[in-house]
Structure formats: C-alpha cells, structure tokens
Structure 1
C-alpha cells in the first residue's frame, strides 16, 4: 500500500508564493496526500483564494487567522495533522521538485517497508533570479553542532513526531532546534535515512544575509541549550558560519565546493 503524505504550509501576504507551492502539489501524479495551509490573516487576497481552493480540492484545508509568527503558525499546522505516514513543512514559495517527486519518494520508502524510518531527507534545488538552478546536496555524514544538514523543505517526518512542537523562544532558528530535538529522539541512527532524491525547490531571491546573521546568533544559543557543545566551541562554529555566509555571498561556487566535502554514509557525528 502506498504511503500517505501530509503537508503543512504557512503563509502571510505571499499569494504568488503560495500559489507556486499549491501548484506543485496539484501537479503530483501521486494522489495520496493532504495539506493544511495556515494563513496569518493575509491582506493580499489569500483568504479568498484559499476558500475557493478548499472548495475545489477536498484534500486541501486551511485556517486564516492572526498568529504570533512563523513558528506559531507551524505549530498550528502540526495540531491539524491528520493520520498519515509522513509529514513535511512546505511553506509558501517552496515547492516539490518535480511532478513525480512523491511517486519516487514512495518507491524509495518501499525498501524500508519492514522498518519505516523516523526521518527521511534528500537534496534540494536552489533557484536564483537569473534562472540559474543549483542542486544543494544534503549531508550524509554530519555534525549537529555545525548546523542543519538538510533544508527543512526536503525532510519528511514519521507521524510519530506529530507531538513535537517548535520552540517559540527562537525567532529564526527554531527549525534548527526542532531538527536537533527530532534527531535526539531517534532510538538508532538507522531510523534516519538520506535518500538519493531531489525533493524540493527553494526560491533564493528573498534570501537576506542580515537575517542569516541574526540566525547565527540564535544558533550559538541553541547549541549550548541543547547540550551540543560548550559556549567556546559554539562561538567557533558561529565564526565558521559567518565565514561561510560571506563566502556564499561573494563566491557561491566556492561555497558549494567547501560545503560538499561530506562522506557517503549516513551517520550522525
């Protein structure tokens, strides 16, 4: 029997991005999926669009009401998860990589039929304003102290994680904290599997270095809070992140080269 996938999509005054996300779901040739859209009471026509969409697509539901920010909205989405096999956070502007992405994902999951992984993840395609696309490979071997090993758009969590919530104490880095806590809940490293599959697309035109710098400061705090390393070590990782941020800004090909130096096995270091 094929797997059922559930998507949580949050949005606020980003109707064009939301439509891109929804279109990628509706384009799937794999039909066993549902989506809950959490809108923060947008003023750009999003609520009217969502009402029409939900009437035409029974597997898409929505809530449109004020919230306390991104992670509060994501927690609201989690509370609306219906029984499924895996769920994914695919926010407005994000999209699945291709029309057959879910078919390919389901096919690869069949190999783990006897012991379904708790977390599966894969690669992502970054899209730039000039039309250029770069595949950002997920890390097979990684250290949680160094940051996120995969973009959250390309991660699928088993339904057992439906009770886990985002920490609203973080304004930018709660997704990193969520993944750290999710990985720490694993009983064995084999419960997390990196798939040879490009799962999502991400629009890079809105990326802000100033926002990333604020995230690095939060990353410093969460590493210490989660017991990943000492404050001194966390400061060194923060300095590394600043260096990579600047390298990414001035020479993206070199940044990718530096980032791609990972082993082929799936292991948490």
Structure 2
C-alpha cells in the first residue's frame, strides 16, 4: 500500500526541516512525499531541495497559489498513492512508526479512512502540550453533535477524493470541515479510529490566530453545516466550539 503525504509550504523555513524529517524517518518504506510550495521568498525551497536531492521519494512544485486549500488540492492531484494524508509545514508526526500504524489499520480492516488523536504543542517548546484533541470511534450521530476528527490526523483512500471531490475554495478557513462533512456523511464509507497521537501541531494556525479569524471560522462552519444539510447549523456549530474546551484540560 503506497501512502502519499502532502505538505503545503509558504515561507516555512523555521519549521519545514523538522516536518520533513518526521516524514523521512518513518519506518514504512512505501511513502511518496509531495511538497507544494506557494513560491516562498525565504529559504524554504533551499531546504526542500536539499532533502529532495537526497531522497527519490520526494516530488515538489513551487508556484503562486490561492492559499493552503488550493495548494492541498494540487497535492491531491499530484499524489499517486493508494492512501493520502497531510502534514502541514508547522507540524510533525508523533513517532517513526505513525505511518506503519495507519497502514496496518487499513490492512487489518476494510475501511476507507483512518484517523487518530492530535496534540497542539507550544511553538517555543514542542514538548509542552497545550491542547489534547482526543478523538473517538465514528458514528453518524456524532455529525449532529458538531464532532469531527482532527483533520491533520485523517488519512483517506485516494478513491474517496475521486468520489467526493477536493477542498471548496469558497471557504477560506473551514474547507477542511466542509470536506469532512461531505465524506463522513457518506454511509457507504467506513472509518477506523486509531487510538494514538498521530500528529503534533504548533499552536497559532490560521483558524485561531485572531478574533477575526475565529469569527470567520465560526461563520464558515455554519455555512458548511447548512450546505451539507446535516441538521440545525447554529446548534451544531455551538456544540462544535464547546467541545474544544475540555481538550485544554486533558494533557
């Protein structure tokens, strides 16, 4: 089973090295690493090319884009793996056997997607856990409770994207939530919860960088729920936001 891991970069010189090392140090060998750069102006490309020259499994492109979701869409189109996952340039995998564990989950059960837990960590000290996103086994009723797995931990068969499409670029912050609503609403698909931390993410992402972005994220979440006809958008978005509070106390 070939796994494609996609990283979108833009002026990521401070974190891209650790991100790429966490992919290249995986003990699972059949990995295609797709780097989609938005024409960085710093040393990101230099660092990427240094790794690329030493690793034949890296493919990359650098050109202007319309933001992270546009870049991730390009990456999905470039990917040739049976399974596709994302690792953002500020993030890194929890261990060297993360991808092996994910592949084993796909092989041991007939599933279309695998997801797990996420740690938000301090940007200054990645050993310090700020928020623990503990997930759970999926059921359809969870959608109406505002529940979703952490998107960075979600690995899907490439065929799922062929069926349900790519990120909707009309969303600036919540395109991942919109896509997951489309996918998890499909009762023909099966998902496996892997009870382990998949990804460590530095705090300060686009959706929680400012009050303005928090408001935009909430508004777009509402639009995503309404557009996918899941249930009462206001109640679902409220439940979704409130569900994050306990994560701050579960370290």
Q: Where on the TM-score scale, by shorter chain, does this alignment land: which range?
A: 0.7 to 0.9
**Alignment partner of 1:120 out of 114, 121, 126:** 114
Offset from partner CA, 1:169-202 (integer Å, 9 cap, x none): 10000000111111233415xx111122321111
Shift of 1:161: 2.2
How many Å separate the matches in 1 of 2:226 and 2:193? 26
- Assess if the C-alpha contact under 8 Å between 1:36 and 1:80 holds in 2: yes
How many Å separate the matches in 1 of 2:33 and 2:227? 33
Q: Runs ≥4 in structure 1, deviation > 6 angstroms?
A: none
Range 135-144 or range 31-40, more displaced: 135-144
**Alignment partner of 2:54 out of 53, 56, 79:** 56
- Assess if the C-alpha contact under 8 Å between 1:139 and 1:149 holds in 2: no
- Assess if the C-alpha contact under 8 Å between 1:9 and 1:37 holds in 2: yes
Match of 1:265 in 2: none
Instruction: Determine whether 1:182 maps to 2:183.
Output: yes
Shift of 1:110: 3.1
Instruction: Determine whether 1:104 maps to 2:113.
Output: no
- For these two proteins, the number of residue pairs brought into alignment is 241
- Assess if the C-alpha contact under 8 Å between 2:102 and 2:114 holds in 1: no
Identify unmatched segments of 5+ residues in structure 1. Answer: 258-269
1:120/1:218 CA distance change after superposition, 3 Å: same
- Assess if the C-alpha contact under 8 Å between 1:40 and 1:67 holds in 2: yes
Alignment TM-score, normalising by the size of structure 1? 0.81
Offset from partner CA, 1:140-190 (integer Å, 9 cap, x none): 2462234452111111101212422110110000000111111233415xx
* Bigger-Rg structure (1/2): 1
How many Å separate the matches in 1 of 2:49 and 2:132? 35
- Assess if the C-alpha contact under 8 Å between 1:5 and 1:85 holds in 2: yes
How many Å separate the matches in 2 of 1:197 and 1:44? 35
Secondary structure of 2:65's counterpart equals coil
Offset from partner CA, 1:27-59 (integer Å, 9 cap, x none): 112211011111100101112222232221110
| Residue correspondence of structure 1 range 1-269 to structure 2 within 5 A | 3-82=1-80, 84-112=81-109, 115=110, 117-128=111-122, 129=124, 131-133=127-129, 135-141=132-138, 143-163=142-162, 164-188=165-189, 191-206=190-205, 207-210=208-211, 211-229=213-231, 233-241=232-240, 243=242, 247=245, 252-253=248-249, 256=250
Shift of 1:236: 2.8
- Assess if the C-alpha contact under 8 Å between 2:106 and 2:113 holds in 1: no
1:93/1:107 CA distance change after superposition, 3 Å: same
Q: CA RMSD in A?
A: 2.3
Offset from partner CA, 1:214-268 (integer Å, 9 cap, x none): 1111111111111112xxx3123334455566x57xx921xx59xxxxxxxxxxx
Secondary structure of 1:29's counterpart equals coil
Alignment TM-score, normalising by the size of structure 2? 0.86
How many Å separate the matches in 2 of 1:147 and 1:35? 32
Offset from partner CA, 1:98-146 (integer Å, 9 cap, x none): 012122223333322xx3x111111122212454225421132462234
- Assess if the C-alpha contact under 8 Å between 2:36 and 2:60 holds in 1: yes
- Assess if the C-alpha contact under 8 Å between 1:118 and 1:186 holds in 2: no
Identify unmatched segments of 5+ residues in structure 2. Answer: none
Offset from partner CA, 1:57-80 (integer Å, 9 cap, x none): 110111100001111111111110
